């Protein structure tokens, strides 16, 4: 018997004003994407602490996405710039730990970009599947 | 331990078609802290809301989760229902299992699994929510309007006539904007000055309006209901109280520079009045062109000024004002002529832009309404008008349609024919866009009554040859090459956001779109609001618009501002940052990153100004010790949501 295909678990931190609204638009437009993604709406991508990302991996996420407003369009003026700088550092940290770089992504999705959100999730799931489960940072292993 | 109730909505088959709502309700009833769980076909209906209210009362619930559509839709509905049942509205949270689940997935098992996780995640959040009360702030009941064109004037008048004080700031020496430069207006051919000057007079004489011309907004701080504005009053070096408008000063001024009002078709002196109906009616000494303020450098104007109105010692002055709402009506400018070199604008004297042609047509213009070529003052017999110059050209210029050019070009050609009966007007166009009341009829009138020749196609080349301007183009409808020996060419240049609008937008912290126009909060439902609460948009600053649209938006923006100014107090979301002083070391990193200057250090600890804080959480992500957290979205809550999402 064939083993069941690996379904990666993704935690997506979406900012309330752009990316969460963009994912709502994907829903309103009845676009379809894999159900592997669990969205957590935060006020701003700038409020996503590195600890949230580590916590998600620690609790068994196979991939983490942080999505905010496009640079220059932040509802909170400049929160996404801080997010961008912080994420660059987290990338280095994860690389140092030895986690596959594909497991952590950042994107800019506006409230009008339902299609883009859908595509990002589809691509992310596709990229994660060949990697198999994330074990590097998982607590229970 | 909290007593949470979970209410899962079917939304007809919108949710129940893909998510097994019964199973969601069943699984949630076993979740820690959940003492009540049920499902219903439409939770947002009256009976649905009553289910929630009754359950809160009967089961003594202290928090609820509604698993339903996006919180952008019914969060308010359910929070109000919660409140009416006697518990704090912030004890109600939404799990979005429609837009983010049932509508985007097809597999019922997988969608149901996900809906359960999303709902559990929301339960984990609400279990740790604090009860909060909205923060109430007073309202400064005055408004600031930036820009004294037709949009700004209309907004200021609407506000003032509703009884609110208005400060109308205009950066140039007179109000009036571009509309005062126009000759006649489409589609009625009303004289532009004749319909605008009454409004200019009214706004300048209105007891509720404080007019500040030759002034610029320097700095803005504060928040909706309570903005603090610093306005720079540039010195005019002329005391309007003493000036008698005798015009002796301009006669002796030795400097001639291009006159902005006539877009360089005429000259003006360094000391000047922009146009006869200027408001305020006074002279301005343009310091950039003046040879120098010291009497030793020139001083001729002061010498001849009998009432002694010229004061070289006048200094720039910064005025501070407090307002509750701001309307931005900074208007437009035409596309930079330097960027349109291919059409010979700026190179050939008889290639004009639309505004210059307006001045030629205007009864008060440099030629007193006679159409004469700037080069030799002869009447042009063949005039080529070119539309979409810089517009609808994504490769080289602006991708968007400037909207007003089709109509004003038709008007230009029509008025040209009214002045020069034996002349011929050609219009090169891509498409004719004449949507608007009586607009299509107006274009037809230009063609049928005035014999304007419309040629569909782009102009390839313009060059001067033996006193004529040769225009080479193609008529794409017949496929034939066209060559016109024109006496004059008029370019309908693209409409751009006014120069300086970008700098102002940054000061105001309002967003711009990709073309630099100010962004409205929602393209359909919030067209006059900016994304920043308390700041509104009017006129061509937001997008190219004609006069009636600018006036309508200006009145809309004024109504929105009045909705704020007429409140006794405003309420502000209480989900703001909170400091744990025991953990705070006073490092100040959060103070540096706060976009709202809401944090400050006091006695070595951080303090939150709850009125300024917007709850973005940038501070909390920056703090190394979790000493600053946003209420009801604390790191602990997020960690628990992550755990629930991952099924742990």
Per-domain residue ranges for chain A?
A: 10-126
Q: How many helices and strands (H and E) does chain A possess?
A: 4, 4
CB atoms A35 and B113 under 8 Å = yes
Nearest to A76 among B118, B614, B639 (CB): B614
- CA-nearest of B105, B6, B142 to B61 is B6
Rounded CA separation B262/B183 (Å): 12
- Please check whether residue B590 touches A, CB under 8 A: no
CB atoms A52 and B617 under 8 Å = no
- Please check whether residue B635 touches A, CB under 8 A: yes
Contacts of B104 (CB under 8 A, 6+ apart): A26, A27, A30, A31, A32, A33, A35, A118
A1-22 mean pLDDT: 87
CB atoms A52 and B639 under 8 Å = yes
CB atoms A32 and B104 under 8 Å = yes
Residues of B in Cβ contact (< 8 Å) with A78: 595
A109-134 mean pLDDT: 94
Residues of B in Cβ contact (< 8 Å) with A23: 99-100
Per-residue pLDDT, A133: 95
Q: What is the pLDDT of residues B106-130, one digit of tens each?
A: 999 999 999 999 999 999 999 999 9
Q: What DSSP element (H or E) covers B65? A: strand B63-68
Per-residue pLDDT, B509: 77
- Please check whether residue A61 touches B, CB under 8 A: yes
Torsion, CA B153, CA B159, CA B164, CA B168, rounded to 10: -20
Residues of B in Cβ contact (< 8 Å) with A138: none
Residues of B in Cβ contact (< 8 Å) with A46: 593, 616-618, 621
- Give every residue of chain B whose pLDDT is below 70, as ranges: 295-296, 648
pLDDT reading at A1 higher than 50 = no
Nearest to A60 among B121, B616, B648 (CB): B648
Query: Token pair of B488, please?
Result: 């004059």
Per-residue pLDDT, A66: 97
- The residue behind tokens 């002869």 is B378
Per-residue pLDDT, B73: 93
- Please check whether residue A81 touches B, CB under 8 A: no
Nearest to A59 among B99, B575, B642 (CB): B642
CB atoms B618 and A38 under 8 Å = no
Angle between helices B150-161 and B192-205 (to 10 degrees): 40
Nearest to B638 among A25, A26, A40 (CB): A40
- CA-nearest of A42, A6, A12 to B646 is A12
CB–CB contacts below 8 A, A to B: 130
Rounded CA separation B624/B435 (Å): 58
ipTM of this complex: 0.96
- Please check whether residue B593 touches A, CB under 8 A: yes
- CA-nearest of B188, B184, B192, B198 to B154 is B198
Nearest to A52 among B615, B616, B638 (CB): B638
CB atoms A35 and B110 under 8 Å = yes
- Please check whether residue A53 touches B, CB under 8 A: no
Per-residue pLDDT, B295: 65
Share of chain B above pLDDT 70, in %: 99
Q: Are B316 and B297 in contact (CB under 8 A)?
A: no
Q: Whole-prediction pTM value?
A: 0.81
Choices 1.25.40, 2.40.50, 3.40.50, 3.30.70: CATH for A10-126: 3.40.50
**What are the C-alpha distances in Å from B102 to residues B111, B121, B595?**
6, 17, 36
Q: What is the pLDDT of residues B216-259, one digit of tens each?
A: 999 998 889 999 999 999 999 999 999 999 999 999 999 999 99
Query: Token pair of B79, please?
Result: 């929070």
Per-residue pLDDT, A112: 82
For residue A66, the distance in angstroms to the closest alpha carbon of chain B comes to 13
For residue A101, the distance in angstroms to the closest alpha carbon of chain B comes to 21
pLDDT reading at A72 higher than 80 = no
Report the SS3 class of residue B10.
coil
For residue A51, the distance in angstroms to the closest alpha carbon of chain B comes to 9
Identify from A12, A14, A47, A57 which residue to disrupt to test chain B contact, counting B C-beta atoms within 10 A and taking the largest count. Answer: A47
pLDDT reading at A141 higher than 60 = no
Rounded CA separation B13/A109 (Å): 29
- In order, the DSSP letters of B481-512 are EEEEEESEEEEEEPEEEPTTHHHHHHHHT--B
Rounded CA separation B401/B543 (Å): 10
Nearest to B618 among A24, A51, A76 (CB): A76
Query: Token pair of B513, please?
Result: 């779109």
CB atoms A61 and B622 under 8 Å = no
Q: Are B382 and B484 in contact (CB under 8 A)?
A: yes
């Amino acid at each position: 018997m064939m083993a069941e295909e690996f379904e990666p678990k993704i935690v997506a931190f979406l900012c309330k004003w752009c990316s969460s609204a963009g994912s709502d638009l994907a829903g309103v437009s009845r676009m379809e994407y894999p159900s592997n993604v669990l969205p957590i709406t935060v006020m701003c991508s700038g409020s996503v602490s590195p600890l949230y990302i580590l916590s998600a991996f620690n609790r068994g996420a196979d991939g983490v996405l942080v999505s905010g407003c496009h640079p220059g369009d932040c509802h909170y003026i400049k929160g996404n710039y801080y997010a961008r700088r912080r994420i660059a550092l987290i990338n280095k940290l994860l690389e140092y730990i030895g986690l596959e770089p594909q497991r952590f992504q950042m994107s800019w999705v506006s409230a009008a970009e339902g299609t883009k959100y859908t595509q990002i999730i589809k691509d992310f799931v596709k990229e994660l599947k060949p990697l198999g489960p994330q074990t590097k940072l998982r607590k229970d292993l | 331990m909290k007593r949470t109730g979970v209410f899962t909505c079917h939304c007809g088959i919108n949710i129940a078609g893909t998510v097994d709502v019964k199973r969601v309700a069943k699984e949630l009833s076993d979740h820690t802290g959940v003492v009540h769980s049920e499902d219903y076909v439409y939770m947002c209906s009256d009976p649905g809301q009553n289910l929630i209210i009754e359950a809160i009362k009967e089961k003594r619930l202290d928090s609820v989760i509604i698993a339903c559509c996006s919180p952008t839709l019914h969060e308010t509905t359910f929070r109000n229902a919660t409140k009416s049942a006697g518990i704090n509205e912030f004890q109600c949270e939404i799990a979005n299992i429609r837009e983010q689940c049932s509508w985007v997935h097809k597999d019922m098992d997988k969608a149901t699994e996900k809906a359960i996780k999303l709902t559990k995640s929301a339960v984990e959040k609400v279990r740790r929510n604090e009860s909060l009360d909205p923060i109430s702030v007073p309202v400064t009941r005055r408004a600031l309007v930036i820009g004294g064109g037709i949009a700004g004037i209309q907004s200021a008048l609407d506000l003032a006539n509703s009884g609110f004080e208005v400060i109308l700031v205009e950066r140039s020496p007179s109000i009036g904007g571009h509309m005062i430069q126009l000759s006649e207006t489409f589609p009625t051919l009303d004289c532009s000055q004749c319909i605008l000057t009454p409004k200019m007079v009214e706004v300048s004489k209105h007891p509720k309006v404080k007019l500040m011309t030759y002034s610029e907004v320097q700095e803005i701080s504060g928040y909706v209901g309570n903005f603090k504005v610093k306005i720079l009053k540039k010195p005019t070096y002329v005391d309007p109280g003493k000036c008698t408008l005798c015009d002796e000063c301009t006669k002796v001024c030795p400097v001639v520079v291009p006159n902005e009002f006539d877009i360089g078709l005429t000259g003006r002196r360094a000391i000047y009045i922009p146009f006869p109906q200027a408001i305020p009616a006074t002279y301005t000494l343009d310091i950039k062109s003046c040879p120098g303020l010291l009497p030793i450098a020139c001083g001729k104007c002061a010498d001849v000024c009998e009432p002694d109105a010229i004061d070289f010692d006048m200094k720039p002055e910064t005025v501070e004002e407090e307002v509750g709402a701001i309307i931005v009506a900074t208007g437009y400018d035409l596309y930079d002529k330097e960027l349109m070199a291919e059409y010979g604008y700026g190179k050939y004297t008889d290639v004009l832009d639309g505004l210059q042609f307006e001045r030629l047509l205007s009864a008060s213009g440099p030629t007193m309404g006679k159409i004469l070529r700037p080069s030799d003052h002869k009447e042009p017999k063949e005039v080529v008008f070119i539309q979409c110059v810089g517009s609808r050209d994504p490769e080289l210029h602006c991708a968007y349609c400037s909207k007003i050019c089709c109509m004003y070009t038709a008007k230009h050609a029509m008025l040209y024919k009214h002045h020069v009966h034996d002349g011929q007007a050609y219009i090169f166009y891509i498409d004719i866009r004449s949507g608007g009341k009586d607009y299509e009829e107006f274009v037809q009138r230009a063609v049928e009554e005035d014999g304007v020749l419309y040629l569909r196609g782009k102009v390839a080349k313009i060059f001067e040859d033996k006193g004529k301007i040769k225009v080479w183009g193609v008529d794409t409808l017949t496929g034939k090459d066209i060559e016109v020996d024109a006496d004059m060419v008029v370019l309908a240049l693209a409409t751009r956001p006014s120069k300086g609008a970008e700098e102002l937008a940054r000061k105001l912290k309002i967003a711009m779109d990709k073309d630099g126009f100010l962004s409205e909060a929602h393209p359909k439902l919030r067209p006059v609001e900016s994304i920043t609460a308390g700041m509104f948009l009017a006129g061509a600053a937001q997008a190219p618009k004609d006069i009636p649209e600018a006036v309508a938006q200006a009145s809309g923006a004024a109504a929105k501002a009045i909705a704020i100014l007429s409140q006794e107090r405003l309420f502000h979301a209480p989900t703001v940052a909170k400091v744990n002083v025991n953990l705070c070391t006073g490092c100040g990193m959060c103070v540096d990153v706060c976009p709202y200057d809401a944090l400050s250090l006091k006695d070595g600890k951080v303090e939150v100004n709850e009125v300024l804080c917007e709850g973005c959480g940038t501070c909390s992500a920056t703090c190394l010790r979790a000493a600053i957290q946003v209420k009801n979205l604390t790191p602990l809550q997020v960690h628990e949501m992550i755990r629930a999402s991952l099924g742990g």
